[in-house]
Amino acid sequence: MATTETRMLLLGAVAIFEPVNGYQIRRELLTWGVEDWANIRPGSIYNGLATLAQRGELVRHDLRDGGREVAVYELSDTGREEFRRLFEEALTAVRPTAPLAFQTALSMLPLVSRDDAKRLLKQRLANLDEAAQGYDEKSVDVEHVPPHVLAVMDYWDRVGRVEREWLLRLLFRIEDGELDFLGEPMGWTPAADDPGHQMSADRERYLAMLKH
């Protein structure tokens, strides 16, 4: 499997729409712009799904749908546990040089409850404050550290301050009932041509075929 972020993104996307076929996952993720912000090539999505199935994190069903063979995916119990582990790690770990995991987890927030989101984001806030202590110039021997390294530390410190302000605002919005989370009604309406409408119809058909 390519990266932790790719695994989390594919497992999360399947979790949102399961049972779902590979083409639908590819089409949906491309509408999210994953080529630009997640560095995922369209062709690698099929390979990623196949690898996750081989790892036992996805269950693949080969169905005949309207005269054609189609591979339909669902999460296994192992896959659900792995997604949860990856998600919680990505949402709480502070890594200034590798923000992609956090951004990927944010795109999956509707897969957890409001209480879980608050708990995890508050943990990130605590971790952010702890990390900020390491960027304090008073704790650094500035006389023996290259100036460009100090500049990098200053950059991390300033980015952390901005993120902290943003994170406090996000937590306030969540406390105030904004955003959509697991078990809550969706507070926005997809466009009439959104591919999600067809995916919902296909999902019902796949469920009937799988006799769930």
Q: Which two tokens stand for residue 120?
A: 């995890």
Per residue in 179-204, pLDDT (tens digit) is 999 999 988 888 888 877 888 888 88
Residue from 95, 99, 92, 45 nearest 73 by CA: 45
Residue with the bigger pLDDT between 142 and 64: it is: 64
- Higher-confidence residue of 35 and 123: namely 123
Query: What pLDDT is attached to residue 179?
Result: 95
Structure-token pair, residue 111: 């897969």
Mean pLDDT over 10-17 rounds to: 94
More confident of the two residues 152 and 122: 122
pLDDT tens-digit map of 28-47: 888 888 888 887 888 889 99
70: Cβ–Cβ under 8 A, 6 or more apart, which residues? 21, 62, 63, 64
When the pLDDT of each residue in the chain is averaged and rounded to a whole number, the result is 89
Parallel/antiparallel/unpaired status of strands 20-21 and 68-75: antiparallel
What is the predicted pLDDT for the residue at 209?
87
Average pLDDT of the residues in 50-56:
95
DSSP 147: H
Return the higher-pLDDT residue of 84 and 157: 84
DSSP string, 17-62: H-SEEHHHHHHHHHHTTHHHHT---HHHHHHHHHHHHHTTSEEEEE
pLDDT recorded at residue 180: 93
pLDDT in tens, 125-182: 999 998 887 665 556 666 777 888 788 888 888 888 999 999 999 999 999 999 999 9
**Which residue carries 């339909």 as its tokens?**
72
Query: In this structure, what DSSP letter does residue 95 have?
Result: -
The predicted pLDDT at position 133 comes to: 78
The pLDDT score that the predictor gives to residue 170 is 97
pLDDT at 1 over 50: no
Taking residues 56-65, report their average pLDDT.
93
